[in-house]
Amino acid sequence: MMENLIWGYVYPNEAEIQWSILIVLYPYITGLVAGAFIASSLYHVFGKKEIKPVARFALLTALSFLLVATMPLLTHLGRPERGIEIMFTPHVTSAMSGFGYIYSFYLIVVVLEIWLSFREDIVKNALNSRGWKELLYSALALFSYDISEKALHDDEKLAKRLAIIGIPSAAFLHGYVGFIFGGIKANPWWSTPLMPLIFLMSAIVSGIALLILLYIIAMKLRKHAIDHKCLHSLAHYLWIFLILDVTLEMLEIISMKYESLEEIEIINRLLSDKIATTFYGVQLTMGIFIPFVLLLLVGMIKNRETLKMIMISISSVFVLIGVFAMRWNVVIGGQEISKSLSGTLTYVPVFFSKEGVLPAIVILTIPFIILIVVTYILPPWKDMEEEPERNPDK
């Protein structure tokens, strides 16, 4: 069986693929975090008022996914119990060693940002509830209940500063994940200085798409009117970042093919054989081209909000699948070519195993559960209920 999976010559130690589907999941999840955070800062930093309805929800989404970002990594480690060493003795020359600190810093920024934007609600809840709820909200308020205008003003100022710090750290959190791959000179499919930028752009794209979908689903569940201005604005940003994303991805492939270095033969085989479907089919056509056209149409069609919403939803789903395929093509694709440049391997995902598909599905489900719990404790929709906007469609 092994023989059929291997073509040409691979180094004997390469017979097994080392980074499994869990490592595909890891950049996918951090990408969603970075994207959701950057979407929220469109409001918090750049003052894009039309994003306001989802700004706080975007922060909670970022937190929910951030909390599980370490899970695929820890599950994958041979010695998970030693994982904390990355915090205690980070080796500075390693692109991976930054993970612990960048992650922690970013977690602090996101938690503080959420705390500041929800503090008014937390304090009000603490004062108006009894029993365990009172205790919970009081603890969240750090037993300090000042919500005078002055206090809230200070909070807002700090929140804005944090968001300003947050953007580069979100970009860094994900850009460095790209560098983990881009900095590996041993692997010609990974080694490109464009990798961090490609990762960042696809992160933003996937984060916005996730936010759009979660927003639509949440509104449907709450039987609340969708703010179409907000939705279209998000769709607009999604479209812009899609263009940046595809430009960089194409630039990488084109320059690789044009320069035709030693490794071009094996890269061509990778693209035309191993990952042809997931690359040309899913990543480029489904994940970029179709959403690009659909979103373009959304921009041109007048009225017909329901149709536009459906088109935006489809685009978002496709983008999310496409970005997952992109992560797959990088992480798995890069390992399917031998570093001998003379052969290829095939990764066959196992369903039930420590590094199989099942744990991947479980890990990808957890953030949604966290999100449900967090939105229950800290409802992010308050702004909308104060100024209800009835949708003519409903």
Residues near another protein (CB under 8 A): 8-16, 18-19, 73, 76-80, 82-91, 93-97, 99, 108, 112, 115, 119, 141-144, 146, 150-151, 154-155, 157-158, 180, 183-187, 335, 338-343
Smallest separation, CB 293 to another protein (Å): 37
CA distance 352 to 193: 36
Taking the complex as a whole, the smallest distance from the CB of residue 16 to another protein amounts, in Å, to 7
Nearer to another protein, 8 or 356 (CB): 8
- Closest contact distance (angstroms) between CB of 357 and another protein is 19
Which is closer to another protein, CB of 185 or CB of 394?
Answer: 185
Rounded to the nearest whole angstrom, what is the least distance from the CB of residue 112 to another protein in the complex?
7
Nearer to another protein, 129 or 342 (CB): 342
Q: Minimal distance in Å, beta carbon 259 to another protein? A: 14
317 vs 341, which CB is nearer to another protein? 341
Q: Please say which residue, 86 or 203, places its beta carbon nearer to another protein.
A: 86
Nearest distance from C-beta of residue 141 to another protein, angstroms: 7
Q: Shortest distance, CB of residue 232 to another protein, whole angstroms?
A: 35
Q: CA-CA distance, 209 to 54, in Å (whole number)?
A: 13
Q: Judged by CB, which is closer to another protein: 125, or 206?
A: 125
Q: Which is nearer to another protein, 93 or 303 (CB)?
A: 93
